[in-house]
Structure 1
Amino acid sequence: MEIIGRASEKDILNQLLASKQAELLAIYGRRRVGKTFLIRTFFEENLTFELTGILDGSFKEQLENFAITLTNFSKSPIPIGVPNNWIQAFQLLKLYLESINSNEKQVIFIDEFPWLDSRKSGFLSAFDHFWNSWASRRDNIIVVICGSAASWMIQNIIGNRGGLHNRITQRIRLQPFSLKETELYLKSQSVNLDKYQILQIFMVMGGIPHYLRDIRKEQSFDQNIDRMCFSKDGILRNEFQNLYPALFDKPERHIAVIKSLANKNEGLTRTEIIESCNLSSGGSATKLLDELLESGFITNYIPYERNSKDVIYKLTDEYSLFYLKFVEQSKNYGDGTWLQKSTTASWKSWSGFAFENICQKHIRSIKKALGIGAIYTEHSAWRYVSKSEDKGCQIDLLIDRADKCINICEIKFSNKEYLITKKYAEELSYKRQAFLQKTNTNKTLFLTMITTYGIVDNDYATNLIQSSLKMDMLFDE
């Protein structure tokens, strides 16, 4: 099968194949993002052994699974006996690999690695020994360890202070598809929707290959969402209940943070999250937020001209946002449910916020379209809360450039060209002036509109807007 996109990841994997020494690759990322597919497909001709951990499997069950897997790969006519412990298991794996008389690269793929490390199993220390005493000395060995529990992978593998300390030679944090990769993937499945419908699909489920695979080519965006989210057996109707427990121990606190952030489009500070979710203010809260960050569910940013103490956390996982807004509390299911919801004011408001999140994830494409791809920039948002008679305001996206310019970006989702009315023009002028006065910046300010279909050409647009970008440019990278 063809690997869609993943250019930087394929570069890393090609480097491993060309390497003259043993390589240990750690690959991690959220559930359903395509980690296993990438490794299996890319290393198809070199895959010598593959073991997948069993979720909540006992010590005995994991070892039995290892013995069955090794029997299948070695094509032994006699079933290999179940080892008593992981030291013995890795010794059996070593003997099997040594029996293969080949100078070709041998790829050992251990999937769902965290699930194998059950309490008191000794798995991690046995793997340490296997790598350090044998595999690391074989110049034709590539060991790939993979897990959805990103926080576990970071703490126990990449940040390991024991035998694996600094032993990882490469790592890949596999992200969801970009809009361009999503479009390419859907085309590979003979789904020929236009960019506007693909954008809406992305707003609901992000670039998660497993979800996108369920898009039917004969259905519109609305029909697909109706079926996938609101039908009895839709794959996204109950995915939320499985998503977080599959990644985290005691996921109730993670879900509480996700739900709290879902209610605040502008995001929350660490202190606000701790207060709203009744978390302790110590390291456990930091660990929880780091786990959600590493798994790609939330993002953080430092507001313009603030410091790290003022960091804002936002929920940016598209599916979680959509589920909590429209699916969780839905009283209606079945045909036509989404068609009805998609005409409400709630959808209009939410779609604007979802489009804003997508733009922030595609900053490289925006910079390229603005012709500033080679200029160093920092991007953030800016919010002014008035303490006097003047009104506050918020800027969706600021692109602060090293050439002493700032793009003040307004992001609007619409099913047609966006009309800048007199009232909105006054609002834009006020935002620009408020930013200029409150920040005392001496940089040149460019008002930039980012919309789905562009803006209507009128006097307000001509006099106020320096740059206008359409959704098409988000599909460039």
Structure 2
Amino acid sequence: MMFVGREEELAQMRGVRRKDRASLVLLRGRRRIGKSTLAEVFGREAGAFLEFQGLPPRPGLTRREQLAAFSEQLAKQTGLPALPLESWPQALSLLANQIRGGSSVVLLDEVSWLAAGDKDFPGHLKVAWDLEFKKKKGLVLILCGSVNTWIEQNILNNTGFAGRISLAMDLGPLPLHACDLFWGTRRERISSLEKLKLLSVTGGVPRYLEEIQPERSAEANIRRLCFRKEGFLFSEFPQIFGETLAARSPVYERICRALAEGDKSVQEIAAVLGRERSGVLSRYLHHLDISGFIARHAVYAPGDASPSRLHRYRLADNYSRFYLRYVDPLKESIRQGLYATSSLDAIVRWDVILGLQFENLVAGNLPALLRCMDVEGALVLSAAPYFQRRTNRQEACQVDLLIQTKRTLYVCEVRCRARIDRGIIDEVSRKIEALRIPRGMSVRPVLVYEGSLDPRIESDGFFDAMVSFQDLLGAK
């Protein structure tokens, strides 16, 4: 188990433990993102650490089975006999009685699974906290889960837990500098393009990055992970999608398929689905957003501190896009072993997928980009892709990333090509001309790139900052 890139989150949790009373902590994020690992690393630092995990969802799973599994886990960690438990109040009270005081951590992992078959589980947990757990000085009780819709409805938006949660964290992908460490001692001699190819599949998901074999090429790793029936990432998508969004996973999957081709507005998503724009569709999008599969970003017009009413959605999970575009259409042939030795160039359109995935990685690593640009994060008013439609008064325009401070617009072009020629200067110039820039604001073009640059791009002095993917990998 490799633990990197979570130093800030670990420091926040240590701060909670320093309080002179019991604390309730909530960790949520997509499956494989490292929630349990973070909790375990934190828990091992305490005087006592107990961890429990619910049984994974399956048809017919009952509360009694969850309680039996909980009892067995408690017995293995405390020396108690595996007692028959009739209810969650009984189970939680038994757990509380095993906490003797001093520094201790209890982890309830995949808490929504524990609640299977008992709609009153959140209420039982709240009562147990009020009457028993919060009286245990030095205790940190961690609720951890990947079914973020359940957590939002039953914990975060539950008035019973109001004022009781000391720390709530959403874990996202690892920053790029942490991803780079998974290549070990070889990382200095492996090209940024090779790393980008693998990250276009794994994103910053720690569990996926752990599967990298650094001694093998990006193509060999991807073929082994995705295009063999026994590959770790071959059947991963249906599993995590079903576990996280089981109730209506076909609808959610159709939305992700629509976004796999590129960013879309709500209206465009509705058109692809053949639905009317409605509150129901908005809820689906919200659920995918908080589950880490997609991201919603507001559109800020140049000079505006407040967003417009327009919003765009993108598929934020690199693995999901790669799976939906290249693995899922071939899954039957992959099961037959037909792609076990095939060249990836015959399967994957790198010129298309790398551009989309590179934009995702840049958008997800804004702090690193700002450091490379020498811009203080505290000064940024907005940072999001921007687009404007053509009207009688303006030309159409799309900016990969528009960063605004009080007096400056940074027009960021994100480009991944084998060779980037001087024509990119003309493209960005036209975009700037199409923008309606308020008087008194400076405009600074920025190039964020992976590939070989035409020497004239730098010598012309058009871009105020040029940030390579290698720069982002090294920015802490």
Q: Normalising to structure 1: TM-score of the pair?
A: 0.89
Mapped partners of 1:199, 1:169: distance in 2: 38
Q: Does 1:411 align with 2:417?
A: no
Contact 2:225 / 2:231 at 8 angstroms: preserved in 1? yes
From 339, 355, 358, the equivalent of 1:333 is 339
1:229-244 pair list within 5 angstroms: 229-244=226-241
Change (3 A) 1:347 1:180: same
Mapped partners of 1:49, 1:251: distance in 2: 33
RMSD: 2.5
Change (3 A) 1:9 1:228: same
* TM superposition shift of 1:182: 0.7
From 302, 308, 311, the equivalent of 2:298 is 302
Change (3 A) 1:194 1:20: farther
Q: Secondary structure at the match of 2:165?
A: coil
Contact 2:408 / 2:444 at 8 angstroms: preserved in 1? yes
1:52-451 pair list within 5 angstroms: 52-56=53-57, 57-76=61-80, 79-97=81-99, 100=100, 103-120=101-118, 122-162=120-160, 164-187=161-184, 193-248=190-245, 249-263=247-261, 265=262, 267-279=263-275, 281-305=277-301, 307-330=307-330, 333-342=339-348, 346-374=349-377, 375-386=379-390, 392-402=396-406, 404-415=407-418, 418-421=420-423, 424-435=424-435, 438-439=436-437, 442-451=440-449
Mapped partners of 1:24, 1:216: distance in 2: 38
Q: Secondary structure at the match of 1:413?
A: strand
Change (3 A) 1:45 1:360: closer
Amino acid of the structure 2 residue aligned with 1:341: I
Change (3 A) 1:356 1:192: same
Q: State which drifts further: 197-206 or 115-124.
A: 115-124
* TM superposition shift of 1:188: 7.9
Q: Secondary structure at the match of 1:145?
A: strand
Q: State which drifts further: 283-292 or 206-215.
A: 283-292
Mapped partners of 2:204, 2:13: distance in 1: 21
Amino acid of the structure 2 residue aligned with 1:185: F
1:14-33 pair list within 5 angstroms: 14-33=14-33
User: How many residues align structurally?
Assistant: 459
Change (3 A) 1:201 1:177: same
Change (3 A) 1:187 1:313: same
Amino acid of the structure 1 residue aligned with 2:226: C
Give a deviation string over 1:321-359, Cα, whole Å, max 9, x none.
1112221223552112414335xxx32022112212211
* TM superposition shift of 1:206: 0.4
Mapped partners of 1:188, 1:62: distance in 2: 44
* TM superposition shift of 1:459: 6.8
Q: Secondary structure at the match of 1:251?
A: helix
Mapped partners of 1:111, 1:138: distance in 2: 20
Amino acid of the structure 2 residue aligned with 1:69: Q
Change (3 A) 1:94 1:426: closer
Unmatched tracts of structure 1, length 5 or more: none
* TM superposition shift of 1:39: 1.1
Amino acid of the structure 1 residue aligned with 2:363: Q
Change (3 A) 1:121 1:471: closer
* TM superposition shift of 1:112: 0.8
Mapped partners of 2:237, 2:142: distance in 1: 28
Unmatched tracts of structure 2, length 5 or more: none
Give a deviation string over 1:54-89, Cα, whole Å, max 9, x none.
12331111111122122112213xx23211111111
Mapped partners of 2:255, 2:174: distance in 1: 25
Contact 2:26 / 2:144 at 8 angstroms: preserved in 1? yes
Give a deviation string over 1:247-304, Cα, whole Å, max 9, x none.
01221111111111112x2x22223323432456544323222221112211112223
Amino acid of the structure 2 residue aligned with 1:273: I
Q: Does 1:38 align with 2:42?
A: no
Mapped partners of 1:90, 1:428: distance in 2: 60
Mapped partners of 2:295, 2:267: distance in 1: 16
* TM superposition shift of 1:381: 2.3
